[in-house]
């Protein structure tokens, strides 16, 4: 190690989930390099819809040295093995997109090809029966996966937590690390006349918060990146027409505690059910072009199963992203940089990825190299674009024709990048392969098959094996999966066990 570089004064604007995750990440993983302060205002609420997460959140929590049980207790979190999609391909159809895979490759041929061959002979069980994550989810059971190469390592898990508690948890964590918190509303942005870089934010009470690097976590307002720097917004509403949510928490309606999120297609969008320890999160994500806010509130009240704990609340959003998420010395993280609706729980993932890339490309000493900025923007674009195509698939791969909304998404023209993937699947049952970004083969297969979009043909090698031998082999796999699930504790029981372990440690 050479001489210590001057700490970079990082000013995070916005105290929502993205803001406090950024503060915690930078303060926790770049001690000495970043001196972090955060401006938040109690006058401005937070969106806080991101209650369900992806398995990647675990690496973030772990790297910061946060104890999982303590974190889960503080945020009333439950475990999540995937998402149950209902009525998307057609009404009455349901499948789980698991944090895991289906079966395994045989003779170099992906499991789904063998499954398609079994289906042709009428010998296939539900695809989910061959996935440990799906089978465990359906049985409301949970246990952390093994860290080896066995069947018990074929899944991952994430959390479902109370987003209004997650932000404060990260806030406390950040404050303990020495992050300086400023309460106040930004009324002016000071910029350097020559470079155009932001130099300071002025608060309503006249305080001036100077910095070297500014992270815009101000949500959809995008105060710095959008309003001040005027970074263009790429609008994706034509592909993802949902732009509102009516959110309403309820009491649990039954004793069961699902280790998964439920997404049920609705006439003008879809609704979520996210089980937390103490309540059920509900919401209707809808297209305001197809449904009024009042109608959406009425619909969620009618659909929710437990006793409502609050009035439905309307959230507004728009799908898309900034053309550049890092411009000058301002980096957008979270909604200030882009938004994709919560259908696959990607909001917190996208914020986490931006923070991870920012740490990798952090301007040590405060001097920003344009090459690092370009690298960051390219990575963020790649992440958004991959997720976007996968989300569009959920709407497009449908036979629903029962509403204007579904007629629109079923018949719309999809991005070229998705059209190519769809054709490859249709013609040959194959998935375009990438090793970076989010959502690989298993995820695409789950949605394609789950929504009834079967290919026209599958791998020629599947015809070489006697279908009955194939059926016996798949049955052995199904029984192994079921056997493994039978040894898992109930989700609720496992949570209680972890809570007891935590209490004992304390």
Partner 1 sequence: MSAPRQPLRRVVVAGSGPLGILAAIALRRALPGCEVVVVGEAPGPAAFADHAASAMPFTNKLHDRLGIAEADLVRRAGGSYRLVTRLAGWGGVGHEGLLAYGETLPSVLKTAFARNWGRVRLPGEGAPSAFSLAAVLAEAGRFAPPPPGEPTPISAVDYALRWNPAAYRDLLIEVAAGLGVIHVPVHPEGIAPGAGDEIAAIRLAGGDLIAADLFIDCSGPAAQLIAAHPRFAFIDWSASLPTRHVYLAAPGAPRLALEDRLSLGAAGWLSAVAGRDGTHLMLGTAAPLSRAAAEAQLGSRATGMVNLTPGRVQAPWLGNVLALGDAAARFEPLGPLHLDLAHRQLALLIELLPGRPICAHERAEYNRRSVLMMEGVHEVLALHFAAPAAAAVFGARPLPGRAAEVIDQFTRRGRIPFREEMPLLGQEQFALLAALGWAPGLPPAALATAAPGEAAARAAFEAEARAALAFAPPYEAWLASVLGAGVRV
Cα–Cα distance measured from residue 255 to residue 178, given in angstroms and rounded to the nearest whole number: 42
Please state the closest distance from residue 481 (CB atom) to partner 1, in A: 13
Q: Is 130 helix (H, G, I), strand (E, B) or coil?
A: helix
* Interface of this chain with partner 1, residues 305 to 364, rule: CB under 8 A: 352-353, 355-356, 359-362, 364
Q: Tell me how far CA of residue 484 lies from CA of 50, 51, 478, in angstroms.
A: 31, 29, 10
Q: Which is nearer to partner 1, 180 or 441 (CB)?
A: 441
Q: Which of 73, 80, 421, 433 is catalytic?
A: 80
- 170-209 mask for partner 1 (x: CB under 8 A)? ----------------------------------------
Task: Beginning with the edge strand found earlier in the chain, give each strand of the sheet holding 233-235 in spatial order.
Answer: 233-235, 320-322, 338-339
User: Which listed range, 242-250, 272-280, 316-324, 448-456, lies at the site for partner 1 (CB under 8 A)?
Assistant: 448-456
- 457-476 mask for partner 1 (x: CB under 8 A)? xxxxxxxx------------
Q: Which is nearer to partner 1, 140 or 352 (CB)?
A: 352
- 405-444 mask for partner 1 (x: CB under 8 A)? ---------------x--xx--xxxx-xxxxxxx-xxxx-
- Residue 35's DSSP bridge partners are 9
The two three-digit tokens of residue 462, written as one number: 């599947």
If residue 266 lies in a helix (H) or strand (E), which one and from where to where? strand 261-266
As a whole number of angstroms, the longest Cα–Cα distance in the chain is 79
Please state the closest distance from residue 24 (CB atom) to partner 1, in A: 10
Number of residues that bind partner 1 (CB under 8 A): 76
If residue 465 lies in a helix (H) or strand (E), which one and from where to where? none
CB 247, CB 281: distance < 8 Å: yes
Please state the closest distance from residue 381 (CB atom) to partner 1, in A: 14
Cα–Cα distance measured from residue 311 to residue 294, given in angstroms and rounded to the nearest whole number: 12
Please state the closest distance from residue 394 (CB atom) to partner 1, in A: 18
Please state the closest distance from residue 264 (CB atom) to partner 1, in A: 24
Cα–Cα distance measured from residue 478 to residue 45, given in angstroms and rounded to the nearest whole number: 48
- Nearest by Cα to 23 from 2, 44, 39: 39
Q: How far is CA 299 from the centre of its chain?
A: 25
Cα–Cα distance measured from residue 19 to residue 46, given in angstroms and rounded to the nearest whole number: 10
Cα–Cα distance measured from residue 176 to residue 169, given in angstroms and rounded to the nearest whole number: 11
Q: Which is nearer to partner 1, 150 or 307 (CB)?
A: 150
Please state the closest distance from residue 448 (CB atom) to partner 1, in A: 11
* Interface of this chain with partner 1, residues 260 to 299, rule: CB under 8 A: none
Which one among 15, 55, 241, 342 touches partner 1, defined by CB under 8 A? 55
Q: Which is nearer to partner 1, 315 or 382 (CB)?
A: 382
The two three-digit tokens of residue 426, written as one number: 């249709």
Q: Which is nearer to partner 1, 148 or 466 (CB)?
A: 148
Q: Is 80 a catalytic residue?
A: yes
CB 181, CB 207: distance < 8 Å: no
* Interface of this chain with partner 1, residues 150 to 169, rule: CB under 8 A: 150-151, 153-156
* Interface of this chain with partner 1, residues 21 to 40, rule: CB under 8 A: 25, 28-33
Please state the closest distance from residue 375 (CB atom) to partner 1, in A: 7
* Interface of this chain with partner 1, residues 118 to 157, rule: CB under 8 A: 119-120, 145-151, 153-156
- Nearest by Cα to 186 from 169, 162, 164, 211: 211
For the annotated catalytic residues, the residue numbers are: 80
């Amino acid at each position: 190690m050479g001489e210590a570089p001057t700490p970079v004064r990082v000013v995070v604007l916005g105290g929502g989930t993205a803001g406090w995750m950024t503060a915690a990440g930078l303060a926790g993983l770049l001690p000495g390099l970043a001196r972090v302060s955060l401006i938040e205002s109690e006058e401005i609420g937070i969106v806080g819809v991101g209650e369900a997460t992806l398995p990647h959140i675990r690496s973030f929590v772990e790297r910061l040295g946060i104890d999982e049980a303590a974190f889960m207790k503080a945020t009333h979190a439950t475990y999540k093995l995937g998402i149950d999609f209902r009525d998307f391909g057609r009404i009455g159809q349901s499948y789980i997109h698991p944090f895991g895979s289906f079966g395994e490759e045989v003779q170099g041929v992906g499991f789904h090809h063998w499954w398609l061959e079994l289906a042709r002979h009428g010998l296939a069980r539900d695809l989910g029966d061959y996935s440990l994550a799906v089978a465990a989810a359906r049985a409301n059971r949970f246990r952390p996966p093994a860290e080896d190469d066995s069947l018990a390592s074929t899944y991952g898990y994430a959390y479902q937590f109370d987003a209004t508690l997650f932000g404060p948890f990260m806030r406390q964590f950040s404050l303990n690390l020495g992050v300086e918190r400023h309460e106040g509303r930004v009324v002016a942005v000071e910029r350097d006349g020559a470079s155009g870089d932001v130099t300071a934010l002025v608060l309503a009470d006249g305080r001036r918060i100077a910095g070297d690097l500014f992270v815009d976590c101000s949500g959809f307002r995008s105060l710095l990146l959008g309003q001040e720097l005027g970074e263009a917004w790429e609008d994706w509403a034509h592909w993802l027409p949902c732009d509102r949510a009516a959110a309403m928490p309820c009491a649990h309606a039954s004793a069961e505690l699902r280790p998964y999120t439920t997404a049920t297609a609705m006439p003008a969008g879809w609704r979520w059910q996210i089980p937390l320890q103490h309540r059920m999160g509900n919401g209707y994500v809808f297209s305001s072009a197809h449904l009024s806010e009042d109608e959406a509130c009425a619909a969620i009240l009618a659909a929710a199963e437990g006793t409502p704990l609050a009035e439905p609340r309307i959230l507004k959003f728009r799908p898309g992203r900034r053309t550049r998420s890092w411009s000058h010395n301002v980096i957008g993280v979270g909604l200030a940089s882009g938004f994709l609706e919560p259908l696959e729980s990607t909001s917190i993932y996208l914020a986490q990825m931006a923070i991870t890339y920012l740490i990798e490309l952090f301007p040590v000493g405060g001097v920003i190299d344009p090459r690092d900025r370009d690298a960051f923007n390219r990575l963020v674009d790649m992440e958004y674009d991959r997720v976007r195509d996968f989300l569009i698939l959920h709407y497009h791969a449908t036979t629903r024709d029962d509403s204007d909304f579904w007629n629109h998404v079923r018949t719309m023209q999809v991005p070229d990048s998705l059209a190519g993937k769809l054709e490859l699947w249709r013609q040959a049952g194959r998935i375009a392969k990438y090793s970076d970004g989010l959502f690989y083969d298993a995820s695409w297969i789950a949605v394609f098959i789950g929504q009834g979009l079967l290919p026209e043909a599958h791998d020629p090698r599947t015809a070489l094996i006697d279908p009955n031998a194939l059926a016996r082999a798949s049955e052995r796999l199904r029984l192994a999966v079921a056997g493994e699930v039978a040894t898992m504790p109930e989700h609720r029981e496992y949570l209680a066990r972890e809570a007891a372990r935590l209490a004992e440690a304390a």
